[in-house]
């Protein structure tokens, strides 16, 4: 199992960035993949047309999201990974720290670049249009 840690700055408030991850329409619009989100602890979510699924473990509005995270191509024997997103004010917007733990070894490199390709770059483009 591997961990991926990425720090990215977005030109928006922590509250607005937090909402992109927990609002179905905003998540879908920002990433381009259909999402069904929940803003409740224990609530289930899916993203990228069902490729990613999980549950919210902990939520602190505008500050922290902790979720189980499972890709459709995980092996049956793979445990769910855990995704932690923390949001803090930074010059010009928000510094988000993403920690993705318990990632299956064979998929870690793919997901490392996938976060930029499928999340960080599209979200930055979405925010630039706002």
User: Which domains does the chain possess?
Assistant: 2-129 (3.30.530.20)
**Rounded to whole angstroms, how far apart are CA atoms 119 and 51?**
14
Q: What are phi and psi of 69, to 5 degrees?
A: -145, 125
Hey, what long-range contacts does 29-37 have (CB within 8 A, 24 or more apart)? 29/126, 30/122, 30/123, 30/126, 30/127, 31/118, 31/119, 31/122, 31/123, 31/126, 32/122, 33/118
Q: Are 39 and 22 in contact (CB under 8 A)?
A: yes
**Rounded to whole angstroms, how far apart are CA atoms 101 and 107?**
12
pLDDT digits (tens, 9 = 90+) for 75-122: 999 999 999 999 999 999 999 999 999 999 999 999 999 999 999 999
pLDDT digits (tens, 9 = 90+) for 6-59: 999 999 999 999 999 999 999 999 999 999 999 999 999 999 999 999 999 999
**Rounded to whole angstroms, how far apart are CA atoms 30 and 19?**
11
- Specify the pLDDT at position 130: 79
pLDDT digits (tens, 9 = 90+) for 60-81: 999 999 999 999 999 999 999 9
For the chain, give the mean pLDDT: 96
**Rounded to whole angstroms, how far apart are CA atoms 23 and 109?**
28
**Rounded to whole angstroms, how far apart are CA atoms 117 and 1?**
22
The three-class DSSP label of residue 92 is coil
pTM of the model: 0.95
- Specify the pLDDT at position 19: 97
């Amino acid at each position: 199992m591997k961990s991926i840690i990425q720090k990215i700055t977005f030109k928006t408030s922590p509250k607005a960035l937090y909402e992109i991850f927990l609002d179905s329409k905003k998540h879908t619009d920002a990433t381009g993949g259909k999402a069904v989100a929940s803003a409740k602890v224990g609530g289930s979510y899916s993203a990228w047309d069902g490729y990613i699924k999980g549950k919210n473990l902990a939520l602190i509005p505008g500050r922290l999201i902790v979720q189980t995270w499972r890709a459709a191509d995980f092996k049956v024997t793979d445990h769910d990974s855990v995704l932690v997103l923390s949001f803090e004010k930074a010059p010009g917007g928000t510094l988000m720290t993403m920690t993705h733990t318990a990632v299956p070894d064979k998929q870690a490199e793919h997901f490392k670049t996938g976060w930029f390709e499928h999340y960080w770059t599209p979200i930055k483009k979405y925010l630039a249009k706002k």
